[in-house]
Structure formats: C-alpha cells, structure tokens
Amino acid sequence: MRINWNYIKMIGLVVLIMGLYAFSNHRNDKKKVNGIKIEFVGDQNLYVTPAMVNKLLIQKYGPLVNVPKENLVLNTMEKVIEANEMVKNAQVYLTMNGELISKILQKKPIGRIEGPTKYYLDDEGNRMPLSSNYSARVPIITGNITGKCLEDVYVILDYINKDDFLRKNVIGIHIENEENYQLRFRMENFVVNLGNVKDLEEKFNNFKAFYAKAAKDKTLQEYNIVSLEFDNQVVCTKI
C-alpha cells in the first residue's frame, strides 16, 4: 500500500498548530493582571470617577493586580460597574499585555428635579442621582412633580435638547399641572406658558417667530407672560 506522505504531513501540521494554540492559551490564562485603566467615553463631565469605579471592583473582587486572567469573568465585572446609578454602559476587556481596561459610558442628565427629593432626569427619562463631583448645567424642574408630569417634562426636555436656540436659553420648567407647563428663559424676565405637551413643534415655531420679531423691535422687556396655549397663536401679557 502506497503511503500518502502529503496527507500525513497535513495531519501532523494541523496537530502541531492545535498544540501550539492550546499551549499559548494555557500560558495566556496563567498570566496575571498587571494594571488597571478606567476610560470614560462620550461626555467628559465625570459624575462617577475612576476612583469610584476602582472601589466598586475592589469591594466585589478585592485587589485585581496580579490576579490570574483565568479567574476573571469580564461580563460579570461589567454588570458590577453598570449597577452604579450613574453608569449607562460598561465594557471590560483584557489587553494582550495583561492590562484590564474598563470603558464606561455615563448617563447624561437633561434636567434637575428640585422637589422633596433632588435628582437628575437622564436622556432616557430615568432618574439619576446628583453627583458630588460635578453639577450639570441643565434646566431646573420645579412645581407639582408627579409621575405623569415627569413623563411630560421628559418629552419637553427631549425636544428642547434637539433645538440649539431652546437648549441655550431655557433654564427651567415649572409644573403647574398636567395641562400647563411654564418655561423660564436665561436672559428674559417673562415666563412662557406652554400649556400641555401637544403640538410642541408648532408652539415652539410660533414662539421663535415672536421672539425674533420682539428682539428686533426691542420689546422683549415689555412682557411678563407669553402664552402658547392657544392654537397657532402667541398671546402676550405686558408688564
């Protein structure tokens, strides 16, 4: 019987490669963590700090430097970091040289609730605690704060944040009730009665048209109430 040496060589090569791969993986698993690095992506305002993240991991796992890589469960570590109320998402991985990297995306506040309990409303409409490290410059929410009203406030804030003019100028929302929300502006003395959250685009377009004309005429200071509650019109009350 003729021996097919090419076939035997191929099998030997495959076995050798598999052996080297298994050996490499075994050696890699035996390596230890030689450093930890915390990186924040997106907004650089640090509501949670690298020291706070390190503390979370140490409380759960103890010191991680010199821990064998095979002892780490990375997706579990991600969940530990994401348990922090200021963290939106975490990605944990090991580099080839043994450095443990944690990339963290923080929650983004879009409004600050000033009621019996103080907290932020984030960009997904969820509660976010205040931070002792950084205070966000976002509109202040006051008044009759209820669950339904906060849902409406989130809709208003979401619209405001997509509009350059409104985002730069609206500094507060006061909740009268579910049918009337008042806006306060940075440079003006008047309040804007928005009404409910229906037809926001039409209401704000009407308001911006009024604002542009009044600014041109230099009459903005003559008003104390600007109402957008009525269909397709702006009703103003002078001082």
Angle at 90 between CA 97 and CA 126, to 5 degrees: 170
214 in a domain, yes or no? yes
3-class SS at 129? coil
- For residue 22, the model assigns a pLDDT of 46
11 in a domain, yes or no? no
Looking at the fold, whether 155 and 231 belong to one and the same domain comes out as yes
- For residue 3, the model assigns a pLDDT of 54
- Fill in the DSSP letter of residue 62: -
Residue after which a domain boundary falls, among 72, 106, 140: 106
10 in a domain, yes or no? no
pLDDT tens-place string over residues 215-226: 898 888 888 899
Residues in the chain with pLDDT < 70? Answer: 1-30
3-class SS at 32? strand
Looking at the fold, whether 234 and 165 belong to one and the same domain comes out as yes
Looking at the fold, whether 82 and 148 belong to one and the same domain comes out as no
- For residue 4, the model assigns a pLDDT of 54
At a CB cut-off of 8 Å and minimum separation 6, what does 71 contact?
Answer: none
Phi, psi (5° rounding) for residue 96?
-65, -30
Looking at the fold, whether 118 and 226 belong to one and the same domain comes out as yes
**Helix or strand run (H / E) with residue 104:** strand 99-106
Report pTM: 0.79
- For residue 207, the model assigns a pLDDT of 93
Looking at the fold, whether 46 and 138 belong to one and the same domain comes out as no
25 in a domain, yes or no? no
Looking at the fold, whether 97 and 197 belong to one and the same domain comes out as no
- As given in the structure block, the two tokens for residue 113 are 């609730």
Amino acid at 214: A
Looking at the fold, whether 73 and 152 belong to one and the same domain comes out as no
Looking at the fold, whether 123 and 196 belong to one and the same domain comes out as yes
Looking at the fold, whether 115 and 218 belong to one and the same domain comes out as yes
Residue after which a domain boundary falls, among 106, 131, 159: 106
- As given in the structure block, the two tokens for residue 218 are 């230099």
Residue 62: which CATH number? 3.10.20.310
Looking at the fold, whether 218 and 169 belong to one and the same domain comes out as yes
Total of domains in the chain: 2
**Helix or strand run (H / E) with residue 51:** helix 50-61
Residue after which a domain boundary falls, among 106, 126, 150: 106
Looking at the fold, whether 95 and 151 belong to one and the same domain comes out as no
Domain containing 218 equals 109-238
The answer to whether the beta carbons of residues 94 and 100 sit under 8 Å apart is: yes
Burial of 199 (0-12, 13-18, 19+ CB in 10 A): middle
- For residue 97, the model assigns a pLDDT of 83
- For residue 109, the model assigns a pLDDT of 95
197 in a domain, yes or no? yes
Looking at the fold, whether 40 and 123 belong to one and the same domain comes out as no
Residue 117: which CATH number? 3.40.50.11690
27 in a domain, yes or no? no
50-61 vs 74-82: helix crossing angle, rounded to 10: 120
